[in-house]
Each structure stands twice: as structure tokens, then as C-alpha cells.
Structure 1
Amino acid sequence: MTQEMKRSVIELHEVVKSYGEKEAATYALRGVNLKITQGEFVAIMGPSGSGKSTAMNIIGCLDTLSSGSYLFGGVDVGNLSLDERTLLRRNYIGFIFQGFNLLGKTTAIENVELPLLYRGFPAHKRHEMAMEALKSVGLEDVAHHTPGELSGGQQQRVAIARAIVTDPFILLADEPTGNLDTAKSIEIMNLLQSFNRDKGITIIMVTHENEMAAYASRIIRFRDGGIDKTYEEKITT
């Protein structure tokens, strides 16, 4: 199936994000138009201040736009209440962060169980699903170790297991290899690529590393609050 025939998961239409008012206003996004289809692996790149992180926060329902529209699976996110956006984020989006964001005094499996706890799963089901997620990233043997007992690469794999344990609609990865050496970075990217290929999870990744972006099926470069169309056309032809 071609990308054109696949259903759009993310659609940004003329999205503007500004801070302040009138002459004092500053713009993080200036009329961004973007479509991401089901099953894509997209890398978002750009210099500091280009708008890439703001776009990621809007897609992840961590921030709201100033004008324009954002459709998630055909649903206009701008029409949702705060509680509805929270439920959308909790039930359909997985997050992977550069800093891992693991709870230091809890075990790997307890960290992975956390999203399931928020969704009200009973303890036995949480444990079963978390162990399966850890197995999928090759860490079932360290399920009862705390983050301090794991390497950086292992901690990031725990974070990935936590992100995919709820079988998310999309996976947002913010500099997922930023704190890792080259070997561990390749390991993590191969893992993400396998989830995209084998499970069909749509992945949107912010990165500043060309080597990591090369694992994606499409690269989008932001510049000055918008998408650099010249660059995108150049790499996709």
C-alpha cells in the first residue's frame, strides 16, 4: 500500500504557535502544514529555535496551538476539552525522552507498569503486560533491577518498553539517542525500526543526528518556525 493510500494519522493545517500579544508576540510556528500517515517513521530535524520541539509538543497534546487546526486520526484536537486531550495522550500516544524519565527507586517492571496503572489495569494484568513489553526489548532478565543498576542503553530500552506497553497509536521519540554512545544509539534505532516495521507503529522522532535520522522513512526539516520544503523535496526525490 502506498503512503498516499494510507490513512492520515496526524494533520497540521496552517498551525501557528505564538507567545505574547501584538508587537510583543514571538512565533514558534508560522503556518505549518504537515501530514503523517499510518505506519510512517518520520524524523524531524532542525536547528535550535526552528520549531521542531514545539510541533512535537502540539502533536503529543503537551501544548496547544494559537491558530490553525490539528487533526489526530481525523479528530479535531482543538475541539477537545483538557480532560479529553489528557485521555487522548494517555490512550493513544507513547513517549520516549532523551533523559529516560524513569523513577529511580522503582524496578524496571514497575516503571513499565506505570502507564497501565494510570489506565486502571489490575495488578496481575499490569505485571503480565509489562513483562511482555520488557521481553520485546530483550530485558526480561533485569525486570527487577532499578535504573541505577542498568546501563544507559538498558534504561532507554526500559523507557521504550514503557512507551509501547499500551500498544500506542503513535510513538513520539524526543532525541531518544541523545545520551547514548554510537553503539547503544544504533541498538536503540534498530529497535525502533523493528517496532515500526513489525508492529506498524507510527513513529515521529526529533533528532539532530543525521545518522539516526537515516533510519526513518522520511525526514522533515524545520527552519524559522516552518518546514523547509526545499530540503524535504530534495531528499524524497
Structure 2
Amino acid sequence: MEQKYVIELHKATKFYGEGEAKTFALQGVDLQVAHGEFLAVMGPSGSGKSTTMNIIGCLDTPSSGNYLFEGVDVGALSRDQRALLRRNYIGFIFQGFNLLGKTTAVENVELPLLYRGFNAEQRYEMAMEALRSVGLESVANHTPAELSGGQQQRVAIARAIATKPIVLLADEPTGNLDTAKSIEIMELLQSFNREKGITIIMVTHEMEMAKYASRTVHFRDGGIDEGYEKKVPL
């Protein structure tokens, strides 16, 4: 039976240091994300949203509490097992694109497929399929320097979805783009969510971008502001 929630945080805390130097980044966060949901995460710097995303992306672990991915307690996994979970089930999109400058678009998209063990022919076919899905098949052999900012972000999205992840984590995906390109990227993400059923969790500072999500949570002082959705309906 499929889990109702793909992501579950139960009383998750994260602290650094000991004694009087102990500092809490998260303080007992409870969060559930359903399959196929598009969640926007907002909040000021230092509110805990980035720490939460790092935990969800298996880049960090909570100091206490539990993180479940598809019902599996991630905290009980080894470092290698968490790396496999991240590699096989989670895609990442970053504000800065993070493309390799001297390689072509298709080669950039192939990179995570290389780590998954696909052969050269499989990698190329899967990468081209991903580029087609973002409308960039015609520039597959162009380097990032030959692409606009919006096109570079589309390549980054293609790279993130090439492995067919269950969850897509997007960290300020429109932060380096103008309004028109930002809308294009958000419409693209929204289409992947609605048509492919990919669960998306997106950090953003922009309310206009958050409106593309089906739900918004707001972090403040290491926790979720439970009244936020009532105060600011989307």
C-alpha cells in the first residue's frame, strides 16, 4: 500500500554546539508532504527553512525527532544508504543553476545518470528526453555560456528530472531570473507537478512565485508559523 505522505517530519530539531553555546536551527518541526503536492516554503533568513530542506534532501540529519521518506526512517539509515536515497529518489534545482561551464547541455543532464550506472547510449537517450520535456532539444549541444539564464535553468530542471525522481527540491529556482523568465520556469514546474505527479518542495522569498504552489508554509524562529496560511491565503 502506498504511503499517504512521501515526506514526514515529526518533532524534528536541529541544534549546534553544547551547553550555553547550543543554538537551535529547528525546534520541533512537524511537517507532512503528500504525494503529488507542490509545497512552497517561505520565511526570513535564519528561520529554519534551509535546514529543513537539507534534512529532506538527505544532506543533513535532525538532532532529534524523525524524518520519514516513503515511510522509511531516514535517521536509521547509514550515510551510504542516505546517499543512495538522495541519488535515486530526489532531484535538486538551485538558484545558481550549477551547470558545468565547459560541457554541453546534454552532457550536463547526463551527469546524474552516470552516477546511476546507465551506459552511454541510455544516458544520451534519457538526457535528450529530459531536454525535450523542457523545450531545449534544439540547444542540446550548446554550452551554458551560449544559453540565456532562463535556458540554463531549464537545463538544470532537465538534469533534475532526468532520473525520474519522486521528489524535486527547488531552492530559489527563479532567484537569478527576471519576471518573464521566472513565470516560464514556474509554469514549467507546475506542469511537471500536475502532469507527471512529481512532488515539489520549493523555497522562495517571492509571494508571486509561491502562488504557483498548492500550499505554502512559513518558517519563523526554527518552526512553522501555523497561522500563516490563514493570514495570507494563496
- Which of the residues 28, 48, 58 maps onto 1:51? 48
- Which of the residues 185, 195, 211 maps onto 2:208? 211
Amino acid at match of 2:150: G
Amino acid at match of 1:175: E
Compute the TM-score of the two structures, normalised by the length of structure 1: 0.96
CA RMSD of aligned residues (A): 1.3
Partner SS, residue 227 of structure 2: helix
Q: 2:68 aligns to what?
A: 71
Q: How does 1:1-237 map to 2 (within 5 A)?
A: 7-235=4-232
Aligned equivalents of 1:232, 1:171: Cα separation in 2:
22
Deviation at 1:6, TM superposition (A): 7.3
Aligned length: 233
Amino acid at match of 1:69: N
Aligned equivalents of 1:198, 1:100: Cα separation in 2:
24
Contact 1:93 1:172 in 2 (8 A): yes
Deviation at 1:158, TM superposition (A): 0.0
Aligned equivalents of 1:80, 1:74: Cα separation in 2:
13
Contact 2:15 2:22 in 1 (8 A): yes
Contact 2:3 2:71 in 1 (8 A): no
Deviations 1:21-64 (A, max 9, x none): 12110010000000000000000000010000000000000111
Aligned equivalents of 2:125, 2:230: Cα separation in 1:
45
Partner SS, residue 229 of structure 1: coil
Aligned equivalents of 1:232, 1:28: Cα separation in 2:
22
Deviation at 1:235, TM superposition (A): 4.6
Aligned equivalents of 1:6, 1:39: Cα separation in 2:
12
Amino acid at match of 1:46: G
Aligned equivalents of 1:156, 1:124: Cα separation in 2:
25
Deviation at 1:83, TM superposition (A): 0.3
Deviations 1:53-79 (A, max 9, x none): 000000000111100000000000000
Aligned equivalents of 2:173, 2:142: Cα separation in 1:
21
Compute the TM-score of the two structures, normalised by the length of structure 2: 0.98
Contact 2:14 2:64 in 1 (8 A): yes
Structure 2: unaligned runs, 5 residues or longer? none
Deviation at 1:236, TM superposition (A): 5.9
Aligned equivalents of 1:21, 1:71: Cα separation in 2:
26
Aligned equivalents of 2:208, 2:232: Cα separation in 1:
14
